Amino acid sequence: MADIHIVNGPNLNLLGRRQPEIYGKRHFEEFLEELKERFAGHRLHYFQSNGEGSLIDYLHKVGFGRVGIVLNAGAYTHTSIALADAVAAITAPVVEVHISNVHAREAFRHHSYLAPVCVGSIVGLGLSGYALAVQYLIEHLEHEQ
């Protein structure tokens, strides 16, 4: 049984309401219930914050031990060296996820401070990217045993 932490950054609390043409019409909490059913043999934890410091504190709290982390840092992906340092400092594998294809959007979204310190990145696949990240982390953690 794997422990997977799904961490969402700024404005992702507005999924379903914020720019549905980009981010879709589903609320994340609704999708999270489906993820929990799909991965019923594992423990999925969820944390969302609009504050950079809160995200860093959460990563420091859960990022050691036999866990995996799915991280959608939102706009902090493109601006936060501190968040990248937090990911680099922990031992848990982290998969970066973005709902939209950041490479097909504004130029400032093309750079990720997180990608170099994550085990992988999934972009542009909508909420399905979270499920792919969870599946990968479960397999990754099982192979570490």
Residues marked active site are found at: 23, 98
**Residues paired with 93 in a beta bridge:** none
Packed helices 28-38 and 128-144: angle between N→C axes, nearest 10 degrees: 40
Count of residues in the chain: 145
Q: How far apart are CA 34 and CA 115, in angstroms?
A: 27
Collapse the DSSP code of 143 into the 3-class scheme (helix H, G, I; strand E, B; otherwise coil) and give the result: helix
CA 10 to each of CA 38, 64, 95, 106, 123: distance values in angstroms, whole numbers, following the listed order = 26, 23, 17, 18, 17
- Nearest C-alpha neighbor of 97 from the set 3, 20, 7, 4: 7
